[in-house]
Chain A
Amino acid sequence: MLANYLAKYKSGISILIIILFCSSNLIWKSNILSRTANKASIILDFFSETFHGIGEGVKRVVGSYSSYQNIKEERDLLREKLHASRELKVKVKELQRENIRLLQLLKIPPVVDFPVIQAEVISQDPDNWFRTIIINKGSNDGVSTYMPVMAVQVKRSTIGTHQTEKLVQAVVGKVIQVNPNSSRILPIVDKHSRLGIRLSRTNHWAMLMGKNSKSELPQLDYLSLSVFAKLGDEIVTSGGEGIFPKRLLVGYIGKNVERLGGFQRTDVIPAIDFQKLDYVYIIKKKWDKSKFKFKSLTVDSITEE
């Protein structure tokens, strides 16, 4: 009887279960079900890393194949040299990649007094709405929540016919969740991100919000009206929230400047290209929460003073 009833209305019952499950989780965001279910992310991260490795392997194979195709066209002319040159080309490419990576590591100026750990990005952005980065280092490597994350990237610019390359070292975000062998990073471009910053040129403090109601870029808010923010002005961390060390590069002032009450808002162009993020490094600086625990002000405490 019950089995017949369930079979007859299986779609309706399924929809009801799914709607109840999802809406209860969306309303009570910290419920035990969500907390337990999210533990599954540890397993998913493990497979993500494996799949990322496979993906990189496929990429390399595709890359080797395309270079093979180019060499094939020249085979009739340089048949004997072909194998040697192909192998050499692949080796040179590998070495170039390794060289860039090592150069990036070597050239990291000691901007922070804390030890750093290098990590590889194994998963990024599950869709076009959220910005989440998962890396292959976790609590087993000494990573803990609220550790700052930075990256080094090569920025290419062309002035006339001359091409210049510059190494940029800037803030990526902070660690928000740690598993034994993987961690989640909240990048500064995510709408949940908030970061205390200062304008490098004038030393004025402001807040960088990942959320921007007008564009896809992060937004600088609470910047004093007395500051004349110019396009391209450098923005660095203020160190005010106690998570990030002071004066780490964050980005540059963008185009849209808007006045709002006693403050001004402006778009920010991040110094890091989040589409090309392969490696990051985590600064092993723990957040000292105790500095931010203030005693509540009572009438007694005022009169005692």
Chain B
Amino acid sequence: MLEKSVIALSILISYFLQTSVSFFSLAGVKPDFLLILTIYFAVFRGSFSGLWIGFMGGLLQDFNLGGILDIQSNQMEFFTGIHALPKALVGFIVGKLSRNINKESPLIISLMLFSASIGYGIFVFSSINIFHQDIAAEAFFTKIFPESIYNAILSVVWMKFLKWAMPSVYSVTSRRYL
């Protein structure tokens, strides 16, 4: 129960760090704290944790977006799922792929996060294009790539912080591989 509360709290803190605090923004690019948290759980806890934590975190982001009123139908249109689905699937895939990697190496974790960020970015880009409006392909260079680099660099410090803040996640994995 305590562990679940800690996980919920970590999702909420990551969400608030992403939306309410502006000092992590560099040249207009923000890191994705929820994605880093998802990858942390996916790598150290497995694909099932990655899947659900990614989904919950993404859902919070979707709620933050609110809705747009469609004047023709006079109905609010919501974005539920636009972050939740990509985050959940990326969390699941990373969990599966990271079974046999060296989890002690910050470089490997950073590369993992970089690839996951690229994959997630492409997924979000496709979702927006399919279900909402078309976005220029240059978004890959202006949004996806810078955000992925930022996430990968930040992960070196942030993963250490998460290991310190939630040692139980890390120790469970260590036991599993002993």
Contacts and interface: CB of A to CB of B under 8 A. Distances in A.
B100 interface: no
B171 interface: no
B2 interface: no
B100 to A, nearest CB: 18
Nearest to A53: B20
Interface stretch (A72-80, A83-91, A121-129, A232-240): A121-129
Contacts of B139: 129
A30 B81 contact: no
A22 interface: yes
A96 interface: no
**Interface-central residue, A14, A19, A134, by most chain B CB under 10 Å:** A14
B51 A18 contact: yes
A26 to B, nearest CB: 4
Nearest to B30: A128
B84 interface: yes
B104 interface: no
Contacts of A177: 66-67, 76
B14 to A, nearest CB: 11
A260 interface: no
Interface in B37-86: 47-48, 51-52, 55, 59-61, 63-70, 73, 75-85
Chain A interface size band reads: 35 or more
A192 B79 CA distance: 12
A64 to B, nearest CB: 15
Given A25-B78, A51-B20, A52-B21, A14 B48 contact: yes
Interface string A18-52: 11011101110110011101101100100111011
A215 B85 CA distance: 27
A132 B76 contact: no
Contact of A59 (B23, B83, B135): B23
A256 to B, nearest CB: 13
**Interface-central residue, B51, B79, B125, B134, by most chain A CB under 10 Å:** B79
A37 B63 contact: yes
A27 B85 CA distance: 13
Nearest to A186: B68
A18 B56 CA distance: 10
Contacts of B89: 15, 18
Contact of B66 (A23, A48, A184, A275): A184
**Interface-central residue, A40, A44, A129, A211, by most chain B CB under 10 Å:** A129
Given A176-B68, A211-B133, A51 B61 contact: no
A180 interface: no
A22 B85 contact: yes
A25 B92 contact: no
B167 interface: no
A10 interface: yes
Nearest to B27: A275
Contact of A128 (B22, B29, B68): B29
B16 A18 contact: no
Nearest to B52: A14
A142 interface: no
A22 B25 contact: no
Nearest to A146: B69
24 contacts: A14-B52, A15-B88, A22-B80, A26-B80, A26-B81, A26-B127, A30-B75, A34-B78, A35-B78, A37-B63, A37-B78, A44-B60, A48-B19, A55-B20, A124-B19, A124-B22, A127-B83, A129-B139, A132-B64, A134-B64, A177-B67, A191-B135, A211-B133, A212-B136
